[in-house]
Structure 1
Amino acid sequence: MARQTHDREDLFRDGTQMPYRGRIQIGDAEVVVGFRTGGAASLYWDQDPVFQFNSDHEVRRVYFAGDRYAANAGKLVRLIQKRSDHETTTERLRLDQASVADDVNDGIDSKLQFCLAQLRCSCRPNSGEPNDAGEPNDQAAWEVTGESKTEFLARLDRWLGTVGNPAVTARGPAVSSA
């Protein structure tokens, strides 16, 4: 994941695998949401957390509290980089999987639900009610690419209605579970 704010700007500008992208500032976080052509979504809440979904709206990958996770058989597993004693720069990155405790899983889903609630407020017309960050809803604050702001916010609102509470974890980390 990007380590500097300008890397996030590059993701918004250059994220060509997500032709429909939007960016907004929510509280202190720069939030980027992108959609692949097949409907798979990615949510980047500043540097951490990051949530990636497949086209069935299931969580497939997560970056949370500095750790990487992937879907495996309907559950998240933590990915741990494995290093060998004689590792070379030409070796392919190898990752081991570690099971995730229920409280960690609950913490990830709790953060995801918080982020989704904030996004729901930001993509709907300003009702005058503040969002959880204490700021008024403001569709005008969105910067989008790939389609009009109205189309993007409608896409985002539809997608937000498909993500479960708790979110469903995919069978595997592939973009599409089909």
Structure 2
Amino acid sequence: MAKQTDDREDLLRDGTAMPVRGRLWVDRAEVVIGFRSQGQLSLYWDQDPVFQFDESCRLRRVFIDSCRLKAENGKLVRLRQPHESIDRPVERLRMVTEPISADDEAAILQRLSDRLQQIDATLDRMMLAGDQTLLQTVGATPPEFARRVRAWIANWNRSMGVAGGPSA
């Protein structure tokens, strides 16, 4: 992920894999939320963290603190590139998985929950004030988008689950 605004793509403009998407500011963070065709949500909090979910609101991929994780059998595992020997020929990009501790997973889920609460509160304030000027959307009006995101957050709060796999 690009660390500078100039280096990254504009997800609101270019995120065509998410036909319904929106951008808002939470405190000083740019937050982009998008829904894929089957309802899977992707959440980009500036450049880090990024959370991606399946159609059942279960977490399937995470990029957090410059670390990539994926869901595997209902748990998060870290993805990393193996250290290759100089003597070995270069292979296609390979990733190995390593388990993370239950405490680390709980901390990630808590951080996600905190972010979702911030988004929900921000959207609630916007809707109550009748001011959606800070909410830019594609594929839905700002009020429709805000209602959809808030409903999705309510569903996630009931389950808070991790998917069986990254594409499950």
Q: Aligned with 1:76: secondary structure?
A: strand
CA pair 81-74 structure 1, distance change in 2 beyond 3 A = same
Tell whether 2:144 aligns with 1:151: yes
Distance in 1 (CA, whole Å) between partners of 2:4 and 2:38 is 29
Spell out, residue by residue over 1:90-136, the C-alpha distance to the aligned partner (whole angstroms, 9 max, x if none).
Answer: x42111000001221121011101100011112225488xxxxxxx9
The offset of 1:139, in angstroms, is 3.5
Q: Aligned with 1:141: secondary structure?
A: coil
The offset of 1:166, in angstroms, is 6.9
| Identity over aligned pairs, percent | 42
The offset of 1:28, in angstroms, is 2.0
CA pair 161-34 structure 1, distance change in 2 beyond 3 A = same
Partner of 2:157: 164
Spell out, residue by residue over 1:46-79, the C-alpha distance to the aligned partner (whole angstroms, 9 max, x if none).
Answer: 1111100000100000011111000000000000
Partner of 2:41: 41
Distance in 1 (CA, whole Å) between partners of 2:30 and 2:114 is 15
Unaligned runs of 5+ in 2: none
Aligned counterparts, 1:25-104, within 5 A: 25-85=25-85, 86-88=88-90, 91-104=91-104
Unaligned runs of 5+ in 1: 129-135
The offset of 1:81, in angstroms, is 1.1
Distance in 2 (CA, whole Å) between partners of 1:54 and 1:7 is 28
Name the structure with the higher helix share.
Answer: 2
* Amino acid aligned to 2:73: A
Tell whether 2:143 aligns with 1:140: no
Distance in 2 (CA, whole Å) between partners of 1:166 and 1:20 is 23
The offset of 1:140, in angstroms, is 3.0
The offset of 1:19, in angstroms, is 0.8
The offset of 1:22, in angstroms, is 0.6
Give the TM-score taking structure 1 as reference length.
0.84
CA pair 7-163 structure 1, distance change in 2 beyond 3 A = farther
Distance in 2 (CA, whole Å) between partners of 1:48 and 1:18 is 19
Give the TM-score taking structure 2 as reference length.
0.89
